[in-house]
Structure 1
Amino acid sequence: MSHLNSNFGIVAEYGNNDVVIFDTDNLTVLHTIALPANDYIDVAITPDNSRAVITSFNNATLIQLDLLKEPPVVIDTALDPPPSLPFEDIDITPDGRFALIADGGSTTAVRSYSLLNKTILSKLSSVANAVAVSPNGNGLVLVVETGDYKVRSFNIDNNGILTDTGVETNTGGLRPINITFSPDGKFAFVANRISNDVGILDTKIPSSISLLNNVSTNSEPGTIVVSSDGKKVYVLTRNTVDVFEFTSTFPFLTQVNSFNHGTSTTTKYGVDLMALNATEDKLFISHYTDLSAFDTNGTSLGTVSGVQPGDGGVAIRKTLFALIDSINFTSEIIDRGNIIQ
């Protein structure tokens, strides 16, 4: 079955030599893409659904997939230049041109990668346990420092070069492990794993990032997923998915539901182990043995048969119409000889 005609997702099978493309509507595998290593840990899809990037941890390697091919094909295998450090968390700029990579360790760096030029462009020596890039195109990049309980602000310019702005703020909790922007880029949410809460940051002014407040969650929050309208926030904890309503005025997050997911999820630095499907009525949770699906009220919908993620990251494409538009858009750009992906 063609993934181009499906609402598809991608999951990294950590511990296996592959990633899996699956249909989010009928929970079936569409393609298994063989890859050279066995420690693929996180995955991200460009906003126009034309490319995917996957990180390999110990091999310090980034894989780029062309999703406009059927089946998708590997078009780059990029190595971190020496002294190389593991690749873990990954995010993509809203124009789809650059990927941001963080290691997750205590001595690390944040790096930028050009999807067009297929090269590591920039590396900043800074503790960066998780990374997120603002979706509004202002170049704001936030990184989490787990040991210091801080979020630091970087900038990525139009050439993919990173600079440290010197702006930082406390996360309001202990052991921050993941960070996610709201769709408009005006807020960011930080999962504080040890203090069991989510810190809410005001990111409207990149030169003045501030902590607004913290909201309690169940034990060990990790992945945070925000709906496309910014009104629902889903927090994956060790045993539950906590569901919040978000408003731009205090108290910001109000819990409206919490359901047990019944899986054995772990928490990896920055790796997104939960994703919302294109129609935003299903949540997919990656854990050691299964890729599980739930409706957003918490009803189990089963698992994607034959997938064993090993706690690898999961990402899901945008709407079907967005993919069709991206194919046409990409064709126009190729005709002009100026690919921006």
Structure 2
Amino acid sequence: MLYLTDGPANQAVKIDPDKLRIVARWEVGRGPAHIFMTPDQRLIVNTNTESGDVTITDASTLQPLTTIPVGRSPHGLAISPDGKFAYVANLGSKDLAVVDLKERKLAATIPVSDAAVQAWVEPQGKFVYVTGLNSGQVFKIDAASRKVVARLPVGKLPAQLGVTPDGRYLISCDQESAQLSIYDAATDKLVKQLPLGAWTHGISFSPDSKYAFVTNTKSDDVSVVDLGSLTEAKRIKVGKGPNGIAASYPNSR
């Protein structure tokens, strides 16, 4: 199944990707943005930008279980590989909120000194990465100590980011620079800045780490990036203003 948020309606939506139809809708907070399911598929978590909280929903019943205040203008969201924590990027309060999904409460708030757009947890769960919108950098946070341990320069107005499933690369979508900033995740060294379409925004990966799929919001297309050669392999025209993206494979739905 596919889950997304309907911001104007203040709802989350469940979609059957095979039949391309809406299965269900349910009420969440005001201005819902990013949404993820926990690895055990028991909980659905989404950020609510306008109400400053996250909604935790039972995935089997689609009944909201609780709403947790996290900060001002929460936007991006990431779930730890073990499903214990949700990491919430707060644009307004310029910090990263750590939500304990077992206790269903705010566990910590980590200042990042910039409008935090999106968060991503690397596959081992040791580090969390957060994009800083105005400073043009990615904050690397130690998940255990909950402290910023590195600041990685990227392009202008970075939005979404991700670490490849094999843990090799950290990649930032730099919107105004219309590029990807590609880092070696093990060494924190910049490997390449790859120009793509206009206003690179969203990113997703193939499970085998061979490809990245990137939305170019202002050129209305999706770039397919070969992660072996670090080149753009293909550009696909899509609808108007593509934003987020998720890659689905027959054996990974």
Relative to structure 1, the CA distance from residue 109 to residue 275 in structure 2 (aligned partners, 3 Å threshold; closer, same or farther) is: same
Q: Is 2:158–2:172's contact at 8 Å kept on the other side of the alignment?
A: no
Provide the rounded CA distance (Å) in 2 between the counterparts of 1:179 and 1:276.
14
Counterpart mapping for 1:235-314 below 5 A? 235-238=130-133, 239-247=136-144, 252-261=145-154, 263-265=155-157, 267=159, 273-288=160-175, 289-296=178-185, 297-305=187-195, 307-314=196-203
Counterpart mapping for 1:147-296 below 5 A? 147-157=50-60, 162-165=62-65, 167-171=66-70, 173-204=71-102, 208-238=103-133, 239-247=136-144, 252-261=145-154, 263-265=155-157, 267=159, 273-288=160-175, 289-296=178-185
Q: What do the CA deviations read for 1:55-76 (whole angstroms, capped 9, x no partner)?
A: xxxxxxxxxxxxxxxxxxxxxx
- Tell me which protein shows more strand as a share of its residues: 2
Normalized against structure 1, the TM-score is what? Answer: 0.56
Relative to structure 1, the CA distance from residue 212 to residue 298 in structure 2 (aligned partners, 3 Å threshold; closer, same or farther) is: same
Task: For 1:100, give the aligned amino acid.
Answer: Y
Provide the rounded CA distance (Å) in 2 between the counterparts of 1:313 and 1:292.
13
Aligned to 2:218: none
Provide the rounded CA distance (Å) in 2 between the counterparts of 1:260 and 1:304.
14
- Tell me which protein shows more helix as a share of its residues: 1
Provide the rounded CA distance (Å) in 2 between the counterparts of 1:148 and 1:279.
36
5+ residue gaps, structure 2, are 211-247
Q: Is 1:202–1:212's contact at 8 Å kept on the other side of the alignment?
A: yes
Normalized against structure 2, the TM-score is what? Answer: 0.74
Give, in angstroms, the shift of residue 309 of structure 1: 5.0
**Structure 1 counterpart SS, 2:165:** coil
Counterpart mapping for 1:114-153 below 5 A? 114-126=16-28, 127=30, 128-138=32-42, 140-153=43-56
Task: For 1:154, give the aligned amino acid.
Answer: T
1:109 to 8, 11, 17: 11
**What percent of counterpart residues are identical?**
19
Relative to structure 1, the CA distance from residue 309 to residue 299 in structure 2 (aligned partners, 3 Å threshold; closer, same or farther) is: farther
Q: What do the CA deviations read for 1:35-63 (whole angstroms, capped 9, x no partner)?
A: xxxxxxxxxxxxxxxxxxxxxxxxxxxxx
Provide the rounded CA distance (Å) in 1 between the counterparts of 2:207 and 2:62.
27
Q: What do the CA deviations read for 1:73-94 (whole angstroms, capped 9, x no partner)?
A: xxxxxxxxxxxxxxxxxxxxxx
Give, in angstroms, the shift of residue 226 of structure 1: 0.6
Give, in angstroms, the shift of residue 295 of structure 1: 1.9
Q: Is 1:104–1:130's contact at 8 Å kept on the other side of the alignment?
A: no
Give, in angstroms, the shift of residue 302 of structure 1: 2.1
Give, in angstroms, the shift of residue 163 of structure 1: 2.4
Q: Is 1:103–1:130's contact at 8 Å kept on the other side of the alignment?
A: no
CA RMSD, Structure 1 to Structure 2 (Å):
2.5
Relative to structure 1, the CA distance from residue 254 to residue 302 in structure 2 (aligned partners, 3 Å threshold; closer, same or farther) is: same
**Structure 2 counterpart SS, 1:174:** coil
Give structure 1 regions of 4+ aligned residues with deviation exceeding 4 angstroms: none
Relative to structure 1, the CA distance from residue 266 to residue 188 in structure 2 (aligned partners, 3 Å threshold; closer, same or farther) is: same
Q: Is 1:144–1:152's contact at 8 Å kept on the other side of the alignment?
A: yes
Aligned length: 209
Give, in angstroms, the shift of residue 220 of structure 1: 0.8
Between structure 1 and structure 2, the one with the greater Rg is 1
Q: What do the CA deviations read for 1:168-211 (whole angstroms, capped 9, x no partner)?
A: 1110x21111111101111111111121111111102xxx5100
Relative to structure 1, the CA distance from residue 295 to residue 179 in structure 2 (aligned partners, 3 Å threshold; closer, same or farther) is: same
Relative to structure 1, the CA distance from residue 184 to residue 132 in structure 2 (aligned partners, 3 Å threshold; closer, same or farther) is: same
5+ residue gaps, structure 1, are 1-97, 268-272, 331-339
Task: For 1:312, give the aligned amino acid.
Answer: H
Q: 1 or 2 for the larger relative contact order (CA 8 Å, sep ≥6)?
A: 1
Q: Is 2:74–2:91's contact at 8 Å kept on the other side of the alignment?
A: yes
Q: Is 1:218–1:240's contact at 8 Å kept on the other side of the alignment?
A: no
